[in-house]
Amino acid sequence: MSDEKLQEAIHTLKDSGVRITPQRHAVLEFLLNSMTHPTADEIYKALENKFPNMSVATVYNNLRVFKEIGLVRELTYGDSSSRFDCNTTDHYHVICESCGKIVDFHYPSLNEVESLAEKVTEFDVSHHRMEIYGTCSHCQASMAH
């Protein structure tokens, strides 16, 4: 299923002259299969069984490469570390302020906002980001106690 995406991503990388190393492959595979939006450290920890000698720098290096190629997006929220999202289709995120869970949320892209901003500010607008904050149902239940 997501194996197809993986092959496609590897193809994209090779086309850009990027070598496919076992570590790189593993980071990419983990990202594609993860539905959460992991931090660099989470990726590092998830792969340390498979690659006991892997360096954190390798994770960061690969994430940078993937970003440059356009395979992943970096998400920066209020908390300390960045998160990485391999779903590059247009979607927004809903974030739980209590547990940090991030849920994808599909909504028609706010083109109107972009065009108005362009008019008002004279910026050449390239994109926008939006996040919605709240409490997930699980945490709501916990709080009820």
Partner DNA sequence: TACACTAATTATAAAGATTATTATTTAATA
Partner DNA sequence: TATTAAATAATAATCTTTATAATTAGTGTA
Residues of this chain that bind a copy of itself (CB under 8 A): 74, 76-78, 92, 94, 96-97, 103, 105, 107, 110, 113-114, 116-118, 120-137, 140
14 or 91, CB closer to DNA? 14
User: Helix or strand or coil: residue 55?
Assistant: coil
Among 54, 75, 103, 125, binds DNA (CB under 7 A): 54
Q: Is 10 exposed, middle or buried (0-12, 13-18, 19+ CB in 10 A)?
A: middle
141 binds, among a copy of itself, DNA, none (CB under 5 to 8 A by kind): none
Rounded-to-integer distance, Cα 58 and Cα 32, Å: 17
Among 2, 7, 20, 141, binds DNA (CB under 7 A): 20
46 binds, among a copy of itself, DNA, none (CB under 5 to 8 A by kind): none
What is the amino acid identity at position 113? V
Q: Do the beta carbons of residue 47 and residue 24 sit within 8 Å?
A: no
Which residue's entry shows tokens 């289709």? 89
State the chain's maximal CA–CA distance in angstroms: 55
14 or 119, CB closer to DNA? 14
Q: Least distance to a copy of itself from the beta carbon of 104, Å?
A: 9
19 or 127, CB closer to a copy of itself? 127
Return the exposure string of 101-123: e unless at least 16 CB atoms fall within 10 Å of the residue's CB, then b. Answer: ebeeeeeeeeeeeeeeeeeeeee
Residues lying near DNA in the complex (CB under 7 A) are found at 14, 18-24, 39-41, 51, 53-58, 60-62, 64-65, 80-82
